[in-house]
């Protein structure tokens, strides 16, 4: 039985070299004539395979059902994120520093009774009550801080020092404020100023949240929602032009906020577009020690998320609001999303770029299904992801932004 899978795998793949090392035990199979699995992993693999996400976007659906589908997606995200329904105290400004062409205000928000969550607000010179500016909520990736995104010195939470000398591409918020956009920057839960005595603490925090029936993404997106709601009340911000920009891990709260808040104007999605359920199901190739890869760490675990929808479905549900995806993925998914944008009457509002390495269609993989039995490196190759080139793509985002904001 396992050999059949290997043959299917070999036939299926367009590029032979990558999977040359795939062996029988990379595939989770069963030798039983009744097709039942003895291994629990096999059983659970089958169970997950059988459970297609209930709200998966179907490009063959009747387009007249699209709006209702979007409403269902939004309701599902509300259910999954479990945001508190209580009022929160108003944020408070704690510091202002002047930079060349803009100022940075440090604010504190109070999203939960026991919590203080600081954030930075970068206000370009010229933005004021009379001339409210567009604004963007900037959400960092794993291991990134709000100071990094702001082009400040990493670790200088009180902005006592000077800005970073070479802020680099990943200083997302700095790039925005230089475009005369108000850039609001947050930390993700458990990192940066929110770390545990200076240490990243994604795992323990995620675990405790999960014990309580909440999740890392639930809390992170709630913290971000509090800041986003505050942004709408600021007189120098044009609340009709608020964007959300997420890098890597930060694309997850971006997607949550996108479905939770119709007032967001547009989205910058800076990561490859991943079908996460598929990633879990296909990455079954044991490593040198014989262990299959663990999907990813538990800050990405939201029970019932992947049985409800996956990342491409969520992006499709953002139509017709402008979205730019900057780091590719599978054309299969982009075709689906484009269909959603066509149905919503704004096909040009969805923009995407592949990694430079896979920009050429003859080099790019274009499969309808990623085969089981791959490791992380093989998975990334198949879905056209080039991890060493994972950075904030100013080259695509900034011209797109100019165009979007009509400058």
Name the residues that contact a second copy, by CB under 8 A: 25, 28, 32, 34-48, 50-51, 110, 112-116, 118, 189-190, 193-197, 199, 201, 203-205, 207-213, 219, 277, 280, 290-292, 294-295, 298, 301, 303-307
Q: Which is nearer to a second copy, 84 or 347 (CB)?
A: 84
Residue 22 CB, nearest approach to a second copy (Å): 15
For residue 306, cis peptide bond before it (omega within 30 degrees of 0):
no
Q: Which is nearer to a second copy, 38 or 359 (CB)?
A: 38
Structure tokens at 188: 């993700």
212 — phi, psi (to 5°)?
Answer: -85, 5
Residue 258 CB, nearest approach to a second copy (Å): 21
Q: Which is nearer to a second copy, 108 or 229 (CB)?
A: 108
Residue 352 CB, nearest approach to a second copy (Å): 26
Give one DSSP letter per residue of 176-238, joined into a string.
HHTTT-EEEEEPPTTSGGGSBTTB--HHHHHHHHHHTT--HHHHHHHHHHHHHHHHTT-TTEE
Identify any residues that bridge with 273 across adjacent strands, giving them in sequence order: 329
- Residue labelled with tokens 């995104």: 149
Q: Which is nearer to a second copy, 292 or 381 (CB)?
A: 292
Q: Which is nearer to a second copy, 42 or 132 (CB)?
A: 42
Q: Which is nearer to a second copy, 25 or 105 (CB)?
A: 25
Residue 396 CB, nearest approach to a second copy (Å): 32
Strand order of the β-sheet with 323-325 is 92-99, 102-109, 117-124, 182-186, 133-139, 237-247, 266-270, 323-325, 350-352
CA distance 316 to 338: 8
Taking Cα atoms as reference points, which of 111, 174, 109 lies closest to residue 140?
174
Helix, strand, or coil (residue 127)? coil
Residue 311 CB, nearest approach to a second copy (Å): 14
3-state secondary structure 137-182: EEECCCCCCHHHHHCECCCCCCCCCCECCCCCCCCHHHHHHCCCCE
Question: Would you say 152 and 177 are in contact if contact means Cβ atoms under 8 Å apart?
Answer: no
Residue 292 CB, nearest approach to a second copy (Å): 6
Question: Would you say 24 and 41 are in contact if contact means Cβ atoms under 8 Å apart?
Answer: no
Give one DSSP letter per residue of 286-314, joined into a string.
--TTSPPPP-S-GGG--TTSTTT--HHHH
Element (H, E) at 270: strand 266-270
Polymer length of the chain:
407
- For the chain, how far is it from start to end, CA to CA, in angstroms? 60
CA distance 202 to 190: 5
Residue 93 CB, nearest approach to a second copy (Å): 16
Q: Which is nearer to a second copy, 50 or 62 (CB)?
A: 50
Q: Which is nearer to a second copy, 300 or 354 (CB)?
A: 300
Residue 43 CB, nearest approach to a second copy (Å): 4
Q: Which is nearer to a second copy, 215 or 238 (CB)?
A: 215
Q: Which is nearer to a second copy, 171 or 298 (CB)?
A: 298
Q: How many CB atoms lie under 10 A from the CB of residue 406?
A: 6
Residue 170 CB, nearest approach to a second copy (Å): 22
CA distance 164 to 307: 43
Residue 32 CB, nearest approach to a second copy (Å): 7
Q: Which is nearer to a second copy, 71 or 208 (CB)?
A: 208
Residue 372 CB, nearest approach to a second copy (Å): 13
């Amino acid at each position: 039985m396992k050999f059949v899978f290997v043959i299917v795998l070999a036939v299926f793949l367009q590029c032979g070299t990558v999977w040359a090392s795939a062996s029988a035990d990379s595939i989770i199979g069963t030798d039983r004539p009744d097709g039942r699995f003895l291994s629990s992993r096999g059983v659970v693999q089958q169970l997950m395979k059988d459970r297609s996400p209930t709200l998966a976007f179907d490009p063959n659906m009747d387009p007249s059902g699209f709006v209702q589908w979007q409403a269902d997606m939004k309701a599902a995200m509300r259910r999954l994120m479990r945001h508190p329904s209580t009022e929160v105290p108003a944020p408070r400004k704690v510091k202002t520093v002047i930079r060349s062409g803009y100022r940075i205000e440090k604010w504190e928000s109070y999203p939960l009774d026991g919590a203080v969550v600081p954030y930075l607000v970068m206000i370009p010179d010229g933005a004021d009550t009379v001339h409210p500016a567009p604004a963007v909520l900037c959400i960092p990736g794993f291991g990134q801080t709000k100071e990094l995104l702001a082009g400040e010195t990493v670790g200088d939470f009180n902005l006592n020092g000077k800005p970073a000398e070479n802020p680099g591409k990943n200083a997302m918020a700095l790039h925005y404020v230089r475009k005369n956009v108000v850039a609001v920057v947050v930390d993700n839960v458990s990192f940066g100023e929110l770390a545990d005595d200076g240490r990243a603490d994604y795992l323990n925090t995620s675990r405790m949240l999960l014990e309580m029936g909440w999740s890392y993404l639930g809390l992170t997106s709630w913290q971000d929602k509090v800041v986003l709601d505050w942004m709408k009340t600021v007189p120098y911000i044009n609340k009709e032009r608020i964007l959300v920009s997420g890098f890597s891990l930060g694309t997850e709260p971006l997607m949550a906020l996108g479905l939770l808040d119709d007032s967001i104007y547009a989205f910058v999605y800076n990561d490859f577009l991943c079908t996460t359920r598929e990633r879990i199901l296909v990455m079954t190739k044991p490593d040198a020690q014989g262990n299959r890869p663990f999907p990813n760490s538990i800050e990405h675990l939201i029970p019932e998320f992947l049985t409800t929808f996956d990342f491409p479905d969520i992006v499709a549900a953002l139509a017709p609001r402008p979205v730019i995806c900057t780091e590719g993925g599978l054309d299969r998914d982009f075709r689906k999303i484009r269909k959603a944008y066509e149905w919503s009457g704004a096909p040009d509002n969805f923009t995407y770029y592949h990694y430079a390495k896979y920009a050429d269609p003859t080099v790019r993989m274009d499969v309808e299904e990623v085969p089981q039995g791959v490791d992380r490196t093989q998975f990334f190759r198949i879905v056209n992801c080039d991890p060493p080139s994972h950075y904030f793509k100013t080259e695509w985002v900034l011209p797109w932004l100019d165009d979007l904001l009509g400058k």
